[in-house]
Amino acid sequence: MENSHTRLAKTIHWTFSILYAYGIFKQVEDLEELEDASLLNFEIFFAIVFLVIVMLRFFYMKDAKTLLGAHEEMHKGHLFIAKATHRLVYFSLIMLPTTGLLIAGILNAGLPGMTLAIALHELSAFLSYITIGVHIVASLYSRYKGEGVWNAMVPLWQESKKNDSRIIVSLETIENKVYDQIEDKFIK
């Protein structure tokens, strides 16, 4: 039996991905929209639910092995980048609802600092696009290489074997040099 994330880990990963996509697509366009009290209340409710689920997920996954499904032992530099990206994803996902709630707080209490709160909110959204974009591209690349990582989290389009094509061998040689550098600079 190959290593796989638990059923609960997979369920949380995919239901949360849907919640994130919903949060991004239904986003508030500008501050004036929040004059509608029912929309403001809904945004506050959504932000709290989102934040609670992110925190629960973080604590549940904290001790799970990174790149769990890999058939071969992963380079330490590779694990370092994967872990750092996951941490940055969590950071952006915590900052998004927190800065959203900050906007709501400033609005309700009539306090100064709205421009800064909105800037932080937009920055958090931007960081989430970048880190989640990198995460998805890296997952697809790993799927192409047939490392086993994809199969441990994604139930669809499963890999059957390691890709040993010449292009992959050359790419892995370059990758290993980069991982060596990372190990030298950040791990040793």
Out of 77, 97, 146, 148, the residue judged to bind ligand HEM by CB under 6 A? 97
CA angle 170, 130, 89 (to 5 degrees): 100
Residue 71 binds to ligand HEM (criterion: CB under 6 A) = no
State the alpha helices, DSSP H only, in the chain: 7-25, 37-61, 76-109, 114-145, 149-153, 166-182
Closest by alpha carbon to 93, among 82, 85, 104, 103? 85
At 154 the three-state DSSP class reads: coil
- Restricting to residues 115-174, name those near ligand HEM by CB under 6 A: 118, 121-122, 125-126, 132, 135-136, 139, 149-150, 152-154
In the complex with ligand HEM, the residue whose CB is nearer, 17 or 170, is 17
Residue 148, sorted as left (phi over 0), alpha (psi -120 to 50) or beta, turns out to be: left
Query: In whole angstroms, what is the distance from residue 105 CA to residue 124 CA?
Result: 18
Out of 74, 75, 80, 82, the residue judged to bind ligand HEM by CB under 6 A? 82
In the complex with ligand HEM, the residue whose CB is nearer, 110 or 166, is 110
Site size with ligand HEM, rule: CB under 6 A: 46
In the complex with ligand HEM, the residue whose CB is nearer, 24 or 55, is 24
Closest by alpha carbon to 147, among 163, 133, 167? 163
Give me the residues that bind ligand HEM (CB under 6 A), please.
13, 16-17, 20, 23-24, 27-28, 30-31, 34, 40, 43-44, 46-47, 50, 61, 66-69, 82, 86, 89-90, 96-97, 100-101, 103-104, 118, 121-122, 125-126, 132, 135-136, 139, 149-150, 152-154
